[in-house]
Structure formats: structure tokens, C-alpha cells
């Protein structure tokens, strides 16, 4: 008996053609459930996102939650979804969210299912606000259009970390046969266990982010104009509401991109991190309407890219590190000047991931608050922020270079909606001082020291080559020796988070958690440079992140940039060896 005629037809067709290789692709291995949940293409078979794999995943997750929470049936879970859909397999984020809701409701668990599309940060917000056991967001964020994903939050309002991923994964294996009524999602509509948090969250979230609004009078008066794009995703309505909550005039929305469209017709990849290509239509609208600043969300609105028109008429797209520096400076300054927070400065914290710029460390050292770095990914920053908050500390801000910002303690994950409106308030305030964002960024660097970053990646589809490349770095001059230099640059320290080695610690053991399953080595250089090489958890890439930190007062930026370029060239040549390893460069 077929439950989904579309995926059934795909499989029947494959069987008729007798193509074992293709069948292997669909049924060879189950999608792996990791700390980021699931992410894969929509389609038939256990290696794809479809009705069956969503049911199986949710059954496992439900059993795992029952084991961990005796009050699951009292507290319940929240489920949200974006606007993704896949015609040929009949999969869509909304359909997957309803099937997941049905699974929990069949076991007597209350479900807060959003009735319409929402930004990803609304799910962690709801977990915290309603004190629920867990949250699920069905989204593939800025991935290509055929993909979807299933992202999981724990009761603390942060994304799950190990060992929950292992526990859930095992429970999925043990609950593969669909329960009775698993496919019949219509029964939930009449269930007393189904609640819709949409109206409540749309009121409460915008009330909560107003605690970060400090210059309402300036916002009301400003003649600065903004363009906003949601890149065919969910962000449009919510950024409009955020501007209203801050008393700012609404931004001009890019008309071709403001409505959700699962085909993302105007962009090659719906990822604002890719820079100018995604912003072409925004630039055109900004020129037409005389707007100086562009705010771009990714399709699930948890990230934010910002561009500003320079005196020269050129557009500058800020990197994640540059916007992190600006927001960190702004949020700290607002706390210092306006906050009703009575906590001492020693109880104030900011966080960033270990591959992001160390600019917050420099600001913290000079101003007297605490800075901590975490492993890569917001799951680590969210969990650490919650620990600190539970100890009575205030976490003002956290960011990662991949344009993710947490500006508001009500959401313990990256949030592109609050980041967009806080950036707009900052720009409006600076305009009253005749300063642009770029000028203020320079002022931050003048005061705290220039931090220049450069990041890129190589594509490599052969895991053996990747393993060999990192083995070579660990046995560079004979067994168990790391490189002592990279071209003309002397290496002064090494931290290997795959093995747990850190040359700078007295016991040579790294402080941050280590993971044998992913590669990550950080080199510190005698010239003040830092470079990290790591594998990506979701793509066939070896990434690198480099930074040159200069003490305040060293203002020869061009010289610093030249030095960093040379360091990066040496890194590519000696440590990546792209020709020997047949690595494919990132194509601009």
C-alpha cells in the first residue's frame, strides 16, 4: 500500500529500470542524524527527506524525549517550518512539520505547531518562553532548493550537542516501523493537544527585542533609508514588524524576492554569504530609492548580511567578522551608557566561535568584561550562554564569522531578524554623528587594534585525500611533529582539536572539547597571525580562516593586509598543496 504516490512512483520507476546504482543512492544508507539534526535533498528512499524518514526521525526523537522528561506530556514541544517545497516528491516543510506534530500528538504529547512560516529563531524563542521540552524547525536554511532539514533544540533553548545526537540516532534506529495513523495528519486538526503559538510569539518576541532598542527618538526622525531582502525566504514580514517595534520607517523590500518561493528563481544559491551575486537586485533597488544600507537575510532569517554604499559610489559588503566587530562595539556601548542592568562589568560576557575574529577579545580586554571562545557553531555558543546566564551572568552578544549573530538573550541561537533591526538602529544613531558604518568600523579598529581576516576553502570529494593532508601536518618533519614554519612565517603555537593537543597549555592538553570525527588544527604565528584549517561537517570542503591582530596604534592597514595575503599564500602552498592533492579552489 502506497502512502505517498509521488515517492512510490519514483521508486517503482527505478525498479522497472533495474538500475542498481541509482537504487543504492536512494536506499544505500540512512541520513545521519547529527547535532545539526538532518539535512539532505528531498526525495524517495531512506537517504532523503520524505514523509517516511520524517515519521521515523520523529518517532525516535519522541521516544528519546519520553526517556529524558517525565513531564513531556505536560510541557510538550514546539514545531516550526519554512517555505521549502519539492514538487516531484511531494515533500514540503509544512507537510513534514504536520507529520512530526501528528507523531507526538499520537503519543499524548502537546504540540505547539506554528500555523504559518516563521524565522528559525522563533522556535528556540518559543522553547524558552513556554518552558517546553524541545523544539523542531523544518528548514534547510540557505542550502540549494532541493534540500530540506530538521533542526532540533533542547529544553534550554539551544541546539542540541553531544551525546543527544547519538541518543536520538539510536532511538530512530529502534523505531523505524511507522506507528498506526502515522500518515494521517488530518486527525491533529481536531486534537485538544494541538496549539498554535503564532499570534502569541508574534506579540511577545517583538516586545522582548525592544529591550535592545535604546534610541527610539532617533529612529523616529532618521532620514536614513534601508533596503531589505529576504531572498525568497520567510524574513519579509518579520523584519517589517521589527522595524515597527523600533519605531523605524519600514525598509524598502526587494519586490522580486520578498515573497516566499521554494524555487529561489532570482539567485543561483540563496545564501547571502556568497556576497554580491545574491545582492544584485538589492543594489538596483537601493540606487533607485536612494537607500544607503542593504540588509539581507538568508531564507530562514537566522543570518544577516549588510552592505553600505561608500562615498566613492561603490558598495561595501561587510564580512561576518566586520559586522561582529560593529555589533559587539554597539551592544557593549549601549549596555554601558543606557542599560538598566545593575550587574557589575565582571559579570558581563561576550562569545564568539574559535574560527571567528578575535576582535571581541580585544574590546573585552580594554573595557573589562569577559570574552570566551567556543567551538565552531551556534550550538556551542547557545549552550555556553545558557550556562553563564544560569550563573547570574549577562551574555550581551555572540557571533560567528558565517554571518550569524545573537544580539538578544531571549533567543539562544543566531537571529537575523533582531540583528537586522539593531543594525538599523546603530546606523541611524551613527548618521546623527555624520558617521557611516565603515567609518565606525575603522574607529573600532583604531581603538582596539586592527583585526584583518581572510577565509576561503578548497573542495575535495575524496575523504582519503583529506585524511592524508591532515596526517601530513601531524607528521611534518618525521613522526608526531607539526610544522615549525610555513614558508617564511614561524609557527609559535599549535592547537589540534582532533587529537586534543595544545602546545600553549602547561599539560599540552586543549581546553575546548575535541572531536576525533572532524579535522581541525589552529596555527599561531610569531607575527601575530592565526590560521585554522578544518573540514566542513555538511559539505566536501576543507576550510581555512586566517587573521592578523595588530595592537592598537599600528594603523598601516595596507601593510597588514599585504602581510596576511602572504601568510595565506604560504598556507595554501605549503599546508594545502592544492596541485599535489588535486584540490579545487573556491570559485568567486
Calpha distance 263→551 (Å, rounded): 47
Calpha distance 496→510 (Å, rounded): 8
Calpha distance 182→185 (Å, rounded): 7
For 180, the grid coordinates are: 498506526
Q: Cis ω on the peptide bond leading into residue 435 (within 30° of 0)? A: no
Radius of gyration from C-alpha coordinates of the chain: 24
For 499, the grid coordinates are: 587529537
Active site residues: 141
Of 451, 470, 450, 452, residue with least CA distance to 460: 470
Calpha distance 357→361 (Å, rounded): 9
State the SS3 of 8-60: HHHHHHHHHHCCHHHHHHHHCCCCCCECCEEEEEECCCCCCECHHHHHHHHHH
H/E run at residue 125: helix 122-129
Residue 346's Cβ-count burial label (10 Å; 0-12, 13-18, 19+) is exposed
Count of Cβ atoms closer than 10 Å to residue 151 Cβ: 26
Residues 6 or more apart whose CB falls under 8 angstroms from that of 529 comprise: 489, 546, 547, 548, 563, 564, 567
Amino acid at each position: 500500500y502506497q502512502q505517498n504516490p509521488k515517492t512510490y512512483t519514483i521508486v517503482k520507476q527505478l525498479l522497472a529500470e533495474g538500475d542498481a546504482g541509482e537504487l543504492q543512492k536512494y536506499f544505500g544508507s540512512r541520513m545521519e542524524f547529527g547535532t545539526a539534526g538532518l539535512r539532505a535533498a528531498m526525495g524517495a528512499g531512506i537517504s532523503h527527506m520524505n514523509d517516511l524518514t520524517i515519521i521515523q526521525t520523529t518517532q525516535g526523537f519522541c521516544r528519546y524525549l519520553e526517556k529524558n522528561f517525565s513531564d513531556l506530556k505536560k510541557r510538550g514541544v514546539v514545531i516550526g517550518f519554512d517555505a521549502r517545497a519539492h514538487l516531484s516528491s511531494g515533500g514540503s516543510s509544512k507537510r513534514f512539520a504536520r507529520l512530526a506534530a501528528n507523531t507526538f500528538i499520537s503519543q499524548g504529547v502537546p504540540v505547539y505547531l506554528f500555523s504559518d512560516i516563521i524565522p528559525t529563531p522563533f522556535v528556540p524563542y518559543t522553547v524558552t518562553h513556554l518552558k517546553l521540552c524541545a523544539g523542531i524547525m523544518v528548514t534547510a536554511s540557505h542550502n540549494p532548493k532541493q534540500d530540506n532539514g530538521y533542526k532540533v533544540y533542547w529544553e534550554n533553548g539551544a541546539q542540541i550537542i553531544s551525546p543527544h545526537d547519538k541518543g536520538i540516532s539510536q532511538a530512530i534506529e529502534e523505531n523505524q516501523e511507522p506507528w498506526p495513523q502515522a500518515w494521517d495528519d488530518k486527525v491533529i486538526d481536531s486534537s485538544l493537544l494541538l496549539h498554535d503559538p503564532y499570534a502569541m510569539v508574534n506579540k511577545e518576541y517583538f516586545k522582548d527585542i525592544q529591550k535592545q532598542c535604546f534610541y527610539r527618538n532617533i529612529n523616529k526622525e532618521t532620514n536614513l533609508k534601508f533596503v531589505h531582502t529576504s531572498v525568497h525566504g520567510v524574513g519579509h514580514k518579520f523584519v517589517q514588524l521589527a522595524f515597527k517595534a523600533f519605531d523605524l520607517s519600514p525598509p524598502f523590500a526587494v519586490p522580486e524576492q520578498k515573497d516566499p518561493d521554494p524555487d529561489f528563481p532570482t539567485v543561483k544559491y540563496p545564501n547571502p554569504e556568497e556576497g554580491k551575486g545574491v545582492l544584485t537586485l538589492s543594489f538596483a533597488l537601493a540606487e533607485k530609492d536612494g537607500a544607503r544600507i542593504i540588509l539581507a537575510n538568508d531564507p530562514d532569517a537566522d543570518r544577516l548580511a549588510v552592505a553600505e554604499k561608500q562615498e566613492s559610489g561603490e558598495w561595501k559588503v561587510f564580512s561576518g567578522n566586520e559586522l561582529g566587530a560593529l555589533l559587539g562595539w554597539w551592544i557593549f556601548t549601549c549596555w554601558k551608557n543606557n542599560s538598566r542592568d545593575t550587574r557589575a562589568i565582571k559579570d558581563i560576557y561576550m562569545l564568539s566561535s574559535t574560527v571567528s575574529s578575535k576582535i571581541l577579545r580585544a574590546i573585552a580586554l580594554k573595557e573589562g568584561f569577559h570574552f570566551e571562545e567556543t567551538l565552531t557553531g551556534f550550538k556551542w555558543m547557545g549552550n555556553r550562554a545558557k550556562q553563564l546566564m544560569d550563573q547570574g551572568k549577562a551574555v550581551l552578544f555572540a557571533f560567528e564569522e558565517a554571518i550569524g549573530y545573537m544580539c538578544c538573550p531571549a533567543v539562544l541561537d543566531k537571529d537575523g531578524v533582531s540583528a537586522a533591526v539593531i543594525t538599523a538602529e546603530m546606523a541611524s544613531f551613527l548618521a546623527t554623528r555624520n558617521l557611516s558604518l565603515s567609518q565606525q568600523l575603522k574607529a573600532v579598529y583604531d581603538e582596539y587594534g586592527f583585526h584583518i581576516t581572510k577565509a576561503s576553502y578548497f573542495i575535495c570529494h575524496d575523504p582519503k585525500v583529506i585524511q592524508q593532508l591532515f596526517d601530513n601536518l601531524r607528521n611534518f618533519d618525521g613522526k608526531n611533529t607539526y610544522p615549525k614554519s610555513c614558508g617564511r612565517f614561524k609557527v609559535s603555537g599549535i592547537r589540534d582539536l582532533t587529537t586534543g593537543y595544545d602546545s600553549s597549555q602547561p599539560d599540552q592538553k586543549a581546553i575546548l572539547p575535541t572531536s576525533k570525527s572532524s579535522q581541525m588544527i589552529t596555527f599561531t604565528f610569531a607575527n601575530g597571525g592565526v590560521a585554522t584549517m578544518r573540514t566542513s561537517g555538511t559539505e566536501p570542503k576543507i576550510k581555512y580562516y586566517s587573521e592578523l591582530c595588530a595592537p592598537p596604534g599600528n594603523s598601516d592597514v595596507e601593510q597588514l593586509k599585504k602581510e596576511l595575503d602572504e601568510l595565506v599564500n604560504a598556507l595554501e602552498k605549503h599546508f594545502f598543496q592544492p596541485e599535489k592533492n588535486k584540490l579545487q579552489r573556491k570559485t568567486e
